[in-house]
Structure 1
Amino acid sequence: MSEKHLYSYDEFKITAEKFKNVEFEEALEHTGFGKYNLALILICGLTLYGVNSEAYAVGYVLPSAECDLELDTYMKGILTSTNFIGITGTCCIWGYLSDTKGRKSVLTISLILAFVCSVAAAFVPSFWGFAILRFCNGIFIAGPSAIVYAYFGEFQNRIYRSTAMAWMSLFIALALITLPGLGWSLLPQHLHLSIFGLTLNSWRLFMLLISIPNLLAAIAFIKLPESPKFLYHNGQLEEAIQVLRQIYTINTGKPGDTFPVESLDDKVLLQVDPNKNKNILMDFWGQIAPLFVPPHLKYSLASGVMQGGVFAVSSGVLLWYPDIINQLSHSANSNVSVTVCQALSSVEESAEEAIRCVEDNINDQVFIQNIIIGVAYLVFYVVWGFVVNFLGNRNFFGLCMIVSAVSLVLLNFLTHKVLIDVLFVVLLTLPGICVAVINLLMVDIIPTHLCGMAVCLVMTAGRIGSIVSSSVVGVMLQWNCTVTFNLYAVNLIVCLLLIFVFPKHST
């Protein structure tokens, strides 16, 4: 009788026998969770850190760049929207490219181009040059901001996928903390460095520094392999096995030839389209159309509405948060206890006064408030990472929606400023956390050859929700503040109901 040698490894017992025709997810489980996965968390997290820093950077430099670029209110509006328009308008193209050309190449190229545009924008002396380059930067960070979720998720086995996604998303919180921190320490300084005949002042140096993470992430992706799941679903079975062996070796410290999977299930070869990439327009439509017919239709529509709903609160309302807090501060200074809506309605419009352009005229409260929001994101991402395995993504999402909706309703009644601040932090961060939860649900349920496009479409829907929300929330608060908060609460309840479209045990 032959003896089987058993190797103790995590929760699995792997025999020396080689398994053939193994399903991909089962083979991925044999790689375990270790150093390789932690390295991916750092690299993909750095990508999220870089693209989120780029997306929010302009808001911090506008006061400092006002004199340098001779900005008026109209020009500031253009600069605020150009990066966002670039992101929203091109995300689906990047999704198509990632599903047809590969995740790694799209991530690497787009991050390098985003870095180049950001560096060029830091040196360009004119308003329109700066605006065009920020628009181009938005185009190039659109891809990594969505595709990195698909790439990262396809390396994680089912046991650890949700937890790993939560740890990676921590870098979004770090960006929201360090970006205002860097701005607070650098932008008020009167720096004037001469480089290539151009004066590099504080805000230009700030733009240069925030571009560095994208370059570092791009260099790291050059060293990383293509997603093994992408290779598998494109019929490259041997290449996929090689990547899985590499993950196994780094995670366990054992030689690659001890990896217990000899071959992957080759039924996937029957699904590979030999005519793929021959007609770009038809191929592009072929990536989108399956997402809007059964069985994927309900998931695409539900996730799009949900992402639009959570973005409307987490990003749309966030843009007005400093202004709301400033108006509440005026009420606090007058020692009168009022609700948020009473404070907003008591502010009378005054004639604009001509203000002399002063460089670096920035209120410290802008930085402090955004740092608090970033810390809250960090805390809630950690909570998600610890509770998701026993609570589940669907239940976690539902809990976040309920707490946020209740917070919005309570804003109509509370008068204590500290409690109001806490409620704002909760209702702005919990929906923001759920952006990653929705992306994870899509990565888990949509087939690999459509996953990149699916995540990009969902993120596009979210950004449209943010644009619409930020455009109307100011007018709505002036029209009827109470109704506005209640409508946002109803919006989150709708998102709560739509989560039941997804299977109970997703990931």
Structure 2
Amino acid sequence: MLMTGLILMGMIMHCLVLGYVIPAAQCDLELTSQQKGWLSALPFTAIILTSYFWGWLADTKGRRTAMLGSMFLAVVISAISSFAPNLTSFAVLQFVSAIFMTGPSAVVYTFLGEFHNLRHRDKMVTFGSAFIGIGTVVLPCEVTDYGESSHELEQRESRTNGFYIWFPTILNALGSQDSVNMKICDVIELTRAKAAADTLNSTTIICDDTIYTSTFERSIYVGLVFCSMYLIVAVLVDFVGKKYILVVTLTITGICAISANLVYDQQIAVVLFAIFQMSGACVGLTNAVAVQLFPTKYRGMAVCLSMMSGRTGSMVGSYLIGLFLDINCGAGFYLFGSLLVVNGLTCLTLPNMKKEKVPKTITNETKETQEP
């Protein structure tokens, strides 16, 4: 579990690191919003394009072979990309590195699940997924030592919905406005209007790298809550079962998403919005369900395709949220909150997978053969 957990932590940090590098270099490279957007989308694009291949390779050549080779090449190419002389070469190397990182990011769930029997499989997969939360805590802790901009968190990787990418941005807007009785969307619109007014009144365009340390602090706190959520789910899964945890978690987080834009108290809104992000704790359980539902010869491909679908939703969701924030902020909260509620209710159709009993026929047959 420790080995696979470290792989997951390395994977999430590899995906998140672009969100820290790009804004730090945006002034020097004169990056536009479009360029930052497609650079940040490179890991998602690599996962979508190559997940099927890595699933096939894991099922035909073995999980260990697929993970070892891809991890080694991902690390080497990522290190080389740090010496890239221009934007084009950096983007190409990062894309190739993300292709090789796609292999272990999904195959590791199958690898971990098959190492344990049915009794402990769900718990161990969820415990291993807790390292994702650890990775989201470690990376901003490291970056704050270098005094990077809080805007580096704007392109963070999504867990289960594209809103997580915009989580630091929304926190940054709430922290920059002295608002008490305002809804989240009202604060965001006020922040955007103020920024537009400052741009019109200025004769020169200034590249803003203002540091708001509260954004880093809140992101670290959310990462710690994610770790706690994973651990709580891992403890409860043996008693409650994957099915009902998915139903309850997705439904509650969806309701919190809808409610976050209905309250006028800023502190309550932040709490509800943070609970909304806790739907990410269902990633491990979802992959545990895939490991259990599909036979061994198809598991690697099934989990990889599941991850591909999730990352596709992350990309589409993040762009839709950016659009909603410009034209109708509240619609984004209501739409994605409703989707989570629907997904939670859909999980009721899953078969009951609560602590399936392992058959004891082998033990009985062994005892019979030993009798004279």
Please tell me the TM-score bracket, short chain as reference: 0.7 to 0.9
1:244-285 residue CA offsets vs partner (Å, 9 max, x unmatched): xxxxxxxxxxxxxxxxxxxxxxxxxxxxxxxxxxxxxxxxxx
Amino acid at match of 1:46: L
TM-score normalized by structure 1? 0.64
Residue of structure 1 aligned with 2:7, choices 41, 44, 47: 47
| Distance change >3 Å, CA 313–CA 409, structure 1 → 2 | farther
Q: Secondary structure at the match of 1:159?
A: helix
What is the match of residue 29 of structure 1?
A: none
Relative to 1, partners in 2 of residues 1:91 and 1:452: Cα closer, same or farther, differing over 3 Å? same
Q: How far apart are residue 356 of structure 1 and its match?
A: 4.8
Structure 1 residue 484 corresponds to structure 2 residue 325: no
Aligned pairs (5 A) from 1:373-412: 373-412=222-261
> Does the Cα contact within 8 Å between 2:74 and 2:101 map onto a contact in 1?
yes
Residue 163 of structure 1 contacts residue 388 of structure 1 at CA under 8 Å; is this kept in 2? yes
* Residue identity matched to 1:131: A
Do 2:240 and 2:354's aligned partners in 1 also have CA atoms closer than 8 Å?
A: no
Q: Secondary structure at the match of 2:162?
A: helix
In the TM superposition, what whole-angstrom CA distance separates every residue of 1:354-386 from its partner, at most 9, and x where no partner exists? 44558x764423422321221111110110111
Q: Are residues 371 and 312 of structure 1, via their aligned partners in 2, closer, same or farther at CA, if it must alter by over 3 Å?
A: closer
The answer to whether residue 167 in structure 2 is matched with residue 321 in structure 1 is yes
Q: Return the offset for 1:133.
A: 0.7
Question: Is the 1:441–1:506 Cα contact (8 Å) retained in structure 2?
Answer: no
Q: Tell me which moved more, 55-64 or 436-445.
A: 55-64
Larger radius of gyration, structure 1 or 2?
Answer: 1
Q: Which residue is equivalent to 1:130?
A: 90
| Corresponding residue number in structure 1 for 2:63 | 103
SS in 1 for 2:65: helix
Q: 1:415 to 1:147 in 2, by over 3 A?
A: same
| Structure-1 separation of matches of 2:295 and 2:44 | 28
- TM-fit CA distance, 1:421: 1.5
Q: Find the counterpart in structure 1 of residue 190 from structure 2.
A: 346
Uncovered stretches (5+) of structure 1, i.e. residues with no partner: 1-40, 190-202, 204-310
Q: For residues 65-85 of structure 1, what are the alpha-carbon distances to aligned partners after superposition, in whole Å with 9 as ceiling and x for unaligned?
A: 234544333332232112221
Structure 1 residue aligned with 2:104: 144
For 2:22 and 2:147, locate their aligned partners in 1 and report how far apart those are by CA, in whole Å: 10
* Identity across the alignment (%): 32
Give the one of 76, 90, 95 matched to 2:50: 90
Cα distance in 2 for partners of 1:315, 1:395 equals 20
Q: How does 1:96-495 map to 2 (within 5 A)?
A: 96-186=56-146, 188=148, 314-331=160-177, 333=178, 335-347=179-191, 348=193, 349-350=196-197, 351=199, 354-356=204-206, 362-429=211-278, 431-495=279-343
Separation in 2 of the partners of 1:361 and 1:414? 29
Q: Relative to total residues, which structure has the larger helix share, 1 or 2?
A: 2
Q: Report the counterpart of residue 25 of structure 2 in structure 1.
A: 65
Q: 1:454 to 1:340 in 2, by over 3 A?
A: same
Cα distance in structure 1, aligned partners of 2:250 and 2:32? 39
Partner amino acid, structure 2, of 1:454: A
CA distance in 2 between counterparts of 1:67 and 1:167 reads 40
Letter matched to residue 127 of structure 1:
L
Report deviation, 1:162. 1.2
Q: Report the alpha carbon displacement of residue 480 of structure 1 after superposing the two structures with TM.
A: 2.7
- How far does the alpha carbon of each residue in 1:14-47 deviate from its partner, in whole angstroms, 9 at most, with x for none? xxxxxxxxxxxxxxxxxxxxxxxxxxx1100010
* Aligned equivalents of 1:74, 1:173: Cα separation in 2: 29
Q: Is the 8 A contact 2:173 2:187 kept in 1?
A: yes
Q: For residue 160 of structure 1, give the secondary structure of its aligned residue in structure 2.
A: helix
Supply the distance in 1 between the matched residues of 2:159 and 2:297 (Cα, whole angstroms).
31
Q: Give me the whole-angstrom Cα distance separating, in 1, the residues matched to 2:166 and 2:206.
A: 25
Letter in 2 for 1:343: V
Conserved? CA contact 1:312–1:465, under 8 Å: no
User: 2:160 touches 2:310 (CA, 8 Å); kept in 1?
Assistant: no
Q: Compared with structure 1, are the counterparts of its residues 117 and 506 closer, same or farther at alpha carbon in structure 2 (3 Å cutoff)? A: farther
Is the 8 Å Cα contact of residues 45 and 170 (structure 1) preserved in structure 2?
yes
Matched positions, count: 343
Change (3 A) 1:506 1:150: farther
* Mapped contact 1:312–1:462 kept (Cα < 8 A): no
Distance in 2 separating the partners of 1:479 and 1:165: 40
Q: Residues 403 and 313 (structure 1 numbering): CA distance in 2 closer, same or farther, change over 3 Å? A: farther
Q: Is the 8 A contact 1:113 1:140 kept in 2?
A: yes
Give the CA RMSD over aligned residues.
2.2
Structure 2 unaligned segments of length 5 or more: list them. Answer: 356-372
Q: Structure 2: which amino acid aligns with 1:146?
A: A
CA distance in 2, matches of 1:483, 1:315: 15
Q: Deviations over 1:288-335 (max 9, x none)?
A: xxxxxxxxxxxxxxxxxxxxxxx977441011122222322344x1x5
